[in-house]
Structure 1
């Protein structure tokens, strides 16, 4: 009996049940007949096999010192064990045929992985513009001079390109990332595996009247993603529509922002109008999508947001949810080309409030946007199309092997 082809997926900044890594790519590869091992560095320590047949190893991030930067350098000392050493040891046992790497940090063990399995193929899956995220978010309020943080971000980005040049294949989630890696790693095969939705079977086609939430934002909640603007707009809307309900569904990583949001809600007595829900499992998110009238994607105009396309746009379309998005980048392009919503200037709560009110009142436009979204997903923005592309890439790589 032939040994199954082994795929080792490695991630550092994502959870086990990540919507792209797990529910799309890993589950699809299992369905194709590959043996998939998912090594995930994060906050948990566990291993086993999921119901979908994915072998998983969760490695807890090691914290020797309380000060983050000191902890970072300590783990660079050769005799100090790190989570990456642990990942390499697991990879030795797996001895995979293909290593599918997510997150730039994993690149620090790329040479080790190649020495473990010299005949394996390596895929690098790029989700975000690393340098722009560092400048726009991570270091935005840093006490370190911007000259230094910008230099560091540029240096790290060049390091990522250099590492990416040693892969056999690069996958990106959208056109912007495709263009930047095509320019900076010209000798590596590259393609786009869009983060299209895989939730078509979860639609309930609820009527407008049966939907609970007038508007919602789904995803990680932060200032640069427009959370405060949506909340301030809600206060203005409630003055005209007292029963207006805004759902914010996602993790708030900034404790100061969380305090600010809760304080704002209490100050203006919006407890019945603004509903905060933390991260929920992928299997449960559809029940919320089915109950939303308008999907918000009013991200602030920062460099990183110009380059990427957010998965929530395809999810909104899938459930027939008209979209209000920011008027720049790929988000504007997708919304307007498919006529599934409205693009507005971000960071303006008055404009957002008026746009939401107008769309809630215009049932004709609402129904047109909703129908167009469902049709767009049925015809082109669905995971089935990307799944076939993923299989084709894997088959070609393995044939080369």
Structure 2
């Protein structure tokens, strides 16, 4: 159960102009945790319409392209925040750092930056940035992070390594840097009942070449298996819908993930060897474990250290396609081993890797900032 706290009705606003309105971390984890703790929680985000979800009031703003977001979306978000009149602002997009800092100063409220990823390292994952353009983007990213480091009242992030890039002091005083790991609510992911679809792998999350699309398609073809996918497609969707081996469900709300994951014998996380991925906390791995299925994941040192002793999945070199095919076949051909690994993973989530414990860190931070 979520730890019992009281937000005493304090009004907190979360803000994103980039993420989709059902974002798992923002809405289903952080906003939900605060609402359950008694805060008056509002989320300003791109959505089709206003709604209330998990006790959170969602305020819809128009979804726009990258260039338009920097002006029109930020103006619309500013007006929405002024209608809400929050006592604290918690925002989630690097491009919002100047606007959020300015809003906090103008309205005299604390501002929290949620660093989902290492922004500077993330530049390396952008295929449309090359040569001098990548250097310019890297420098701009560093300036944005520096501004957040100097002006935000607190930093929330997902792993210790990102947290260590921010200073624990600001203007000579302690400034909180809190790691709230992107773990699943264990209670939301009941272990699968019954059998998985025969010779079926599953992948949830954003779909792109860097996130292993070609590796997955090749592996299911070579092993005479099928792939169920759910998430935002960042490539031509015909790559998925045109294959008889792929069942693409599109973007689904967090509540729909457990059922989809439960259809698979194996969960895939075959990310490329990029700096921002090699030191990430793979939400998908935790969700696969929570549903009681084993994972097949890229052989990153950080991931091996985190999951290697659990016997809950296999690791494989993401640049070795024959090894990926062999590892997937090894799991698909051994349902009993999959069941044993899946049970190990579920137990680890119940004992160590549930968001139930992480939510208390976020609630404590909000109470601290609002009391100061």
TM-score when normalising by structure 2: 0.89
Does 1:9 find its partner at 2:11? no
What secondary structure sits across from 1:225 in the alignment? coil
Following the alignment from structure 1 to structure 2, what is the Cα–Cα distance between the partners of residues 387 and 125?
14
Does 1:58 find its partner at 2:60? yes
Following the alignment from structure 1 to structure 2, what is the Cα–Cα distance between the partners of residues 111 and 122?
7
Following the alignment from structure 1 to structure 2, what is the Cα–Cα distance between the partners of residues 345 and 184?
40
Q: What's the counterpart of residue 135 of structure 1?
A: 124
Q: What's the counterpart of residue 46 of structure 1?
A: 49
Q: Which runs of 4+ in 1 moved over 6 A?
A: 183-186
What secondary structure sits across from 1:275 in the alignment? strand
Following the alignment from structure 2 to structure 1, what is the Cα–Cα distance between the partners of residues 295 and 55?
35
Q: What's the counterpart of residue 226 of structure 1?
A: 212
- Map of 1:1-400 to 2, 5 A cutoff? 4-40=9-45, 42=46, 44=47, 46-47=49-50, 49-61=51-63, 75=71, 82-118=72-108, 120-137=109-126, 140-142=127-129, 145-182=130-167, 188-207=175-194, 209-212=195-198, 214-238=200-224, 244-255=225-236, 258-261=237-240, 265=243, 271=244, 273-400=245-372
Following the alignment from structure 2 to structure 1, what is the Cα–Cα distance between the partners of residues 91 and 33?
16
How far does residue 159 in structure 1 lie from its aligned partner after superposition? 2.0
Structural RMSD (CA):
2.5
Q: What's the counterpart of residue 268 of structure 1?
A: none
Following the alignment from structure 2 to structure 1, what is the Cα–Cα distance between the partners of residues 42 and 131?
40
Unaligned runs of 5+ in 2: 1-6
Cα 1:183–1:338 shift into 2, 3 Å:
farther
What CA deviation, in whole Å up to 9, does each residue of 1:125-167 have, x standing for no partner? 1101222222322xx244xx51232232233223222223211
Following the alignment from structure 1 to structure 2, what is the Cα–Cα distance between the partners of residues 184 and 127?
20
What CA deviation, in whole Å up to 9, does each residue of 1:222-273 have, x standing for no partner? 00111111101111111xxxxx222122221222xx344556x3xxxxx1x3
What secondary structure sits across from 2:18 in the alignment? coil
How far does residue 364 in structure 1 lie from its aligned partner after superposition? 4.9
Unaligned runs of 5+ in 1: 76-81, 239-243, 266-270
Cα 1:277–1:308 shift into 2, 3 Å:
same
Following the alignment from structure 1 to structure 2, what is the Cα–Cα distance between the partners of residues 110 and 288?
36
Following the alignment from structure 1 to structure 2, what is the Cα–Cα distance between the partners of residues 123 and 347?
38
How far does residue 17 in structure 1 lie from its aligned partner after superposition? 1.6
Following the alignment from structure 2 to structure 1, what is the Cα–Cα distance between the partners of residues 49 and 196?
41
What secondary structure sits across from 1:369 in the alignment? helix
Q: Return the structure number with greater relative CO, CA threshold 8 A, min gap 6.
A: 2
TM-score when normalising by structure 1: 0.83
